[in-house]
Chain A
Amino acid sequence: MFGKGAKRKLDEEDDEGLEGQALASPVAPGAAGGPGPRWPEGPSKVSYTLQRQTIFNISLMKLMYSHRSPPAEPRLERRVLINNMLRRIQEELKQEGALRPPLLLLPPSPPPDDPMDETFREAPPAAGSGPGPATPGPPSAMPASPVTPASAAQLPLQLLALPPSPAPPPTPPPPPHTATPPCPPATPTGPAPMEACLTPASLLEDNDTAFCTLAPPTLPLSPPPTPPNCQPASPLPLPPRGPSPHGAGFFPPAPASLAPGPPAAIAKTAAAANTTTTSPTAPALPLPSPPLPLRDSRTTAPRAEVAVVSPTSVGVVADAPPASHPYPPAPPSPSGFLSDLALDDILFADIDTSMYDFDACTTAGAVTAKLSPAVTADDLLKSLTSPYAVAPAPQVSANQPFKIDLTELDHIMEVLVGS
């Protein structure tokens, strides 16, 4: 087995190399005598980070997709174990964030009120028309915000926002692969084949500079030479959350705010993803402050709107009311609704949003006022860690979510009026 920090031989099996690194995890803080996470050095640290990210993404994918038809109740043990995995990774990332404050500038922590409040559910209608309950600051204030452990927790979702393709083609995610796609894009029709999602360690070695860069001011200017199959399948993006004071989500506005390693890659791909939206002011590649929130606004808005017609719209999964049953298809927390819907939404960014009156693109400066607030990793985890959360039905196609929602809204209205 690999000891901590042990270097791998280059000629070893790639899979084994990556797998072997599964053991090179830092000692957990709080372990007897442990001062805190001890990082393996050099390439093994990179591969550890990458593997952790991979596992995080895989875990989210597992929670999102139901393999059963007709849907049966989710297995609680499996969900609990996956949730614990996600929490552990998030915890680690939090602590890493705590260890590297100067390198990590993220949006400040979410407002103190509980995101699982009932008020949460009312936030989405307000999206696009006003800020959340907390006073939002302008996105430009974000670079100056101090790092808190909570904000550091938003890091994992940055790790998630990795579309499969490194090139910045102006296509919506998931973008087509130019190279052989061992990491297939997440499709709605079922769980993405995940066998190929592990990044071979050899690729990590190819891209040492990309992953190990600490503070890359010039980072976002060109697409990274990341391998085509570098990242796991899911462009799991940023589910909206309830009101957040700073709206613009987790994309740090300034390159200097990027954490080392994968966040750097994220910044690049965020730039790439940025170009996939129809943001009118987004330049092709760079990562300036406004386009990021803009992208958020473009993509979060429909989610917000979708959230308007939820929670019943989560009846994509089931029509059951969130009564007192153990595995309700609709998560009990509103953020759970949002996250489920958001994932569907992001997966189909070509959703026709014409029926929604939203002009966030014209409000780049005041974008925070309109944004459906960013979801932090905490919230995502919380929504996902609810054992009640059930994957959205993978059969939902691009335009249907909204139509389904409206239909169900009509139905609900009929029921309410009739009773």
Chain B
Amino acid sequence: SAGGGSEDMQWCFSQVKGAIDDDVAEADIISTVEFNHSGELLATGDRGGRVVIFQQEVENKSVPEYRSEYNVYSTFQSHEPEFDYLKSLEIEEKINKIRWLPQKNASQFLLSTNDKTIKLWKISERDKRPEGYNLKEEDGRYINPGNVTSLRVPVFRPMDLMVEASPRRVFSNAHTYHINSISVNSDHETYLSADDLRVNLWNLEINDRSFNIVDIKPANMEDLTEIITAAEFHPHHCHTLVYSSSKGSIRLCDMRASALCDQHTKLFEEPEDPSNRSFFSEIISSISDVKFSHSGRYLMTRDYLTVKIWDLNMETRPIETYQVHEYLRNKMCSLYENDCLFDKFECCWNGNDSVVMTGSYNNFFRMFDRAQRRDATLEASREHNLPLQLLKPRRVCTGGGGGGGCSKRKKDEISVDSLDFNKKILHTAWHPNDNIIAVATINNLYIFQDKVSDPDSADDLSASDMMCTI
């Protein structure tokens, strides 16, 4: 299937990766998820600084029901914790973002970054090795030349597949603040990295220099009221980038206009709704993620309660706004107290930009079908782990009254007060060409695929479990 949203799109469980027990090691907490450009590889980064790459099973790719089987392909330690002695502060090894480079040759390349340093990794396969050296034994020991009596030419012989990851570039010392985004340019030669106050432009080949293109640091840091939260290059126009702010605005910059893009070309900002104004208006307006559509025509932003779709041609307001968990609006004081209000949810497009997805709490994640104007709430849970088991839509009740529960408690309904705010889905990814999604809970990675509809199957009767709207 081409990755479009269909009337009957339903999702099935495919796999779950990660530890089963509830005691979560901090290092195992997943911090980023990203498919490569073909969808064949799926990379995750965690707080321990490790990158795990899963590969789609080759044999099963052509079998629709099993095409979303991914197995571990490579694991490596990308970043180590560092200690900044000058400031007496630790630099976390947590991988904030992974971005794949488009594939040019047999090897794969990805950029991974923590708070301060970006690294370019080359992931290459080795399935042959040379054998038959003249001067070396098979185990590598050198032969006494005096014992060599004949010449032979070493040949390559097959060996068990080995996947090697090697750091090809380390881009460091360019960020005073915490890196929140990296984005590879469509020219495939440059990329940007953004921290709280600056956006830098790098050449992939040059790691000792970067060019600062956006700087919003005020002369007096006490005047600082707004920071950069995310940045991305346009998918097709290599001169265009956007960055979002903690005040809910998005600025589009054209690097052709000036070398320093402090002056934006476009400013996307929606006026505040006065009826919704509260103490927390600014915090919930802070944009946690910004993503261009594959077409390059639209921009998606995620703030605490909503997903917004913007048309690049209209700056005054988004063209679509989707409520992710509006029922949390009455809980914002508590969420502020326990810091949940600062959670940074990501969002993603499907392959043809018809459906968008984002995470929520209680291991719920939300999908919004733009064309069909339907939305769904699904859950990533170990309770529904039978292969190809259909995910049942979830529903959150906001009912008032003393109990705070649903008036008629159905099995798939849960009240707002019962939500587990420790189970948050911050990172999701959608296969670029297929209806395969990767959803990261705190320490597990779930892979789902859309249900393959079989006209003869009795399973179609379960299509009565339509996606329900909240």
Instruction: Please list the residues of chain A having a beta carbon within 8 angstroms of any beta carbon in chain B.
Output: 1, 11-13, 15-16, 18-20, 22-23, 25, 27-28, 31, 51-52, 54-55, 58, 62, 68, 70-73, 75-78, 80-81, 83-85, 87-89, 116, 194-195, 197-198, 318-320, 323, 325-329, 332-333, 382, 385-388
Contacts and interface: CB of A to CB of B under 8 A. Distances in A.
28 contacts: A1-B275, A1-B329, A12-B400, A13-B401, A13-B404, A22-B330, A22-B332, A23-B277, A23-B278, A25-B279, A27-B277, A55-B333, A55-B336, A70-B89, A71-B88, A71-B89, A73-B87, A76-B178, A78-B342, A83-B225, A85-B283, A88-B282, A116-B222, A195-B334, A318-B88, A318-B89, A320-B88, A327-B89
B130 to A, nearest CB: 46
Interface in B396-417: 400-402, 404
Contacts of B91: 72-73
B92 to A, nearest CB: 6
A326 B176 contact: yes
Interface of B: 83, 86-92, 115, 176-178, 196-197, 221-222, 224-227, 229, 246, 274-280, 282-283, 286, 329-334, 336-339, 342, 400-402, 404
A62 B89 CA distance: 19
Contacts, number: 142
Contacts of A71: 88-90
A80 B278 contact: no
B88 A329 contact: yes
Contacts of A31: 274
A22 B89 contact: no
Contacts of B329: 1, 23
B278 A325 contact: no
Given A23-B277, A25-B277, 16 more contacts: A13-B401, A15-B331, A16-B404, A23-B276, A28-B277, A51-B333, A55-B333, A75-B342, A76-B178, A76-B227, A78-B342, A80-B227, A81-B286, A84-B225, A320-B86, A325-B87
Contact of B330 (A20, A68, A70, A328): A20
Nearest to A85: B279
Nearest to B272: A31
Contacts of B87: 73, 318, 320, 325, 327-329
A194 B337 contact: yes
A76 B275 contact: no
Given A12-B400, A85-B282, A80 B226 contact: yes
Contact of A54 (B222, B275, B333): B333
Contacts of A52: 279
Contacts of B337: 58, 194-195, 197-198
Contacts of B404: 13, 16
A390 to B, nearest CB: 8
B96 to A, nearest CB: 12
Contacts of B88: 71, 318-320, 329
A73 B338 CA distance: 20
Contact of A81 (B177, B277, B338, B342): B342
A70 B83 CA distance: 10
Given A22-B279, A80-B224, A15 B332 contact: no
Contacts of B401: 13
Instruction: Identify the 4 closest CB pairs spanning chains A and B, nearest first.
Output: A318-B88, A76-B196, A22-B278, A326-B176
Nearest to B342: A78
A70 B275 CA distance: 43
Contact of A11 (B225, B277, B280, B402): B402
A40 to B, nearest CB: 13
A81 B196 CA distance: 12
Contact of B90 (A72, A83, A84, A320): A72
Nearest to B338: A195
A195 B336 CA distance: 10
A302 B336 CA distance: 34
B417 to A, nearest CB: 9
A197 B401 CA distance: 23
B225 A80 contact: yes
B226 A194 contact: no
Contacts of B224: 80, 385, 387
A123 to B, nearest CB: 19
Contacts of B330: 1, 16, 19-20, 22
B441 to A, nearest CB: 22
Contacts of B276: 1, 23
A388 B402 CA distance: 44
Nearest to A197: B337
A418 to B, nearest CB: 20
A323 B86 contact: yes
Contacts of A58: 336-337
Nearest to B284: A81
Nearest to A194: B337
B113 to A, nearest CB: 15
